[in-house]
Amino acid sequence: MWLQLSVTVFLSSFVLTSYGQDAERGASLGRSINPRDGRCQYTFTVAAPAEPTGCPHAAAADQMEGVLSRLGLLEALVSRLVGGQRVGGTSRTGPRDDGSEQVPPQGEKNQLQRDKEQLSGRVQELLRLVEQLGAEAETLRQKPCPPDQADHGPSGKAALRVPDSSYQEMKAEVTEVPASSLLPEGGHNITGCGELVSVGEPLLHRKADSITGKYGVWFQDPEPPQGPAQGPLYTNRTVWRIDAVGKDVRQLFAYEDAEQFSRGFPLKVLVLPEPVESTGATLYRGALYYQRRRSRTLLRYDLASETLAARRDLPHAGFHGQNPYSWGGYTDIDLAADELGLWAIYSTPRAMGAIVVSQLDPQSLAVRRSWTTGVRKNTVANAFMACGRLYTVASYSVTNTTLNHVYDTTTGLGRAIAVPFRNKYRYNSMVDYNHAQRKLFAWDNHHMTSYDITLGRR
């Protein structure tokens, strides 16, 4: 199931200043359905007043010029007052033309004293105003944004910096993604992704015709890449197979579909650049994920380009017989894919043999999150992930066995269960879940089989 999410957000850019008033603005969220493909489109709109063009701080620059002009006039006025002049008139004291001092009458002298005190108060006020305007001018001087310091977005167009309190123009471009990737916390919200209820009888697809096929892995991609560039190999009908017996396992067989697979006619044989360790490989979104032989290194092999796309060590993971399943076979690291993505099932020295489940980034193979269960890995025959839950198989050789434990990564809780499971050929070395088909794929003593399963609704 794929979900197309299209979001467009437009926020007009304007600058709020201490001299302006907040404009009335509203927001709305609309939803429409495309009649051609039935997909929903959501539009979130915020209205804003018309904005001036150019640098967002152009108004601030004009304000700074006005402040500086006022500051200059005030400084001149203060100088005149301090120098003893009266605004709009001449000095009432001072020397005569003959050099003698002009002495005013007593009444006028008292008036001049009062004028002096008033002017002194005005001078102090003006000096404080000059200091405030000087600080404001310095603040405004730092605000204008030169064009060469503009930021550039993904489209290559310049996007000017604006204060944190301003609105910015934003555009969200969302690509088509699997619906499962929108549910990182668990598969419980996916319809029909409840706990496993039952496993059907094994259906035989093919039997290996040599000793190298005693155990191995086979699978189909639950989420193959879309588009003609991927070629005829990379569809959900393509079957892939690796015979895991040998010291240098590198061959990956591709079959056009299940019919060609059952007849044994491969469409192509790819030679992997690094050898495969045991039966822990899986296929997901056009790539083979596997463990490199005799190491804890994980590899992502891109099927379209036939090249290694990523490699990364799984931190502290046991390998090459340190923490295998009960049947052995160097099954220390088991990779799996389900509705929630890519997983690794393994153990570490810190876990002391208990199963650790880690969700991996499909591109980089980095660990996103890990859970340590209470199930010892060497006491179970195999394990797989479905809807974010770990299930373990009790035995690989007993014909009528059970799935005996479930661990839910959403709740972090595990418990014992007893869901019947049949090893028809009595040596089951691989069990993987395909969430697109809701089937288990297995390799049971040369026999490649599948099981229908039933999951609860929630």
Q: What is the largest CA-CA distance in the chain?
A: 134
Which pLDDT does position 62 carry in this prediction? 55
Give the sheet arrangement for strand 382-386, strand by strand.
382-386, 389-393, 400-408, 413-422
Find, among 414, 351, 342, 415, the residue nearest to 377 by Cα: 351
Taking 3-state DSSP, the helix, strand and coil percentages for the chain, each rounded to the nearest 5, stand at: 20, 35, 45
For 156-197, write each residue's pLDDT tens digit.
444 434 344 333 333 333 334 343 333 444 555 677 899 999
Cα–Cα distance measured from residue 136 to residue 358, given in angstroms and rounded to the nearest whole number: 56
Lowest mean pLDDT: which of 29-38, 66-75, 185-194, 251-260?
29-38
Q: Does residue 450 surpass a pLDDT of 80? A: yes
Dihedral pair phi/psi, residue 384, rounded to 5°: -155, 165
Dihedral pair phi/psi, residue 412, rounded to 5°: 75, 20
Cα–Cα distance measured from residue 51 to residue 168, given in angstroms and rounded to the nearest whole number: 12
Q: What is the mean pLDDT of residues 310-327?
A: 97
Which pLDDT does position 190 carry in this prediction? 77
In sequence order, the β-bridge partners of residue 335 are: 344
Q: What is the mean pLDDT of residues 17-26?
A: 39
Whether pTM > 0.85 for this model: the answer is no
For 67-81, write each residue's pLDDT tens digit.
566 666 666 665 655
Question: pLDDT category, 25, cuts 50, 70, 90?
Answer: very low
Cα–Cα distance measured from residue 6 to residue 225, given in angstroms and rounded to the nearest whole number: 21
Contact call for residues 298 and 289 (beta carbons, < 8 A): yes
Angle 106-141/58-82 helices, nearest 10 degrees? 160
- The more confidently predicted of residues 84 and 434 is 434
Alpha-carbon 38 to chain mean position: 27
Mean model confidence pLDDT for the chain? 77
Q: Three-state DSSP class for 181? A: helix
Half-sphere exposure of residue 165: CA atoms within 13 angstroms, side-chain side:
5
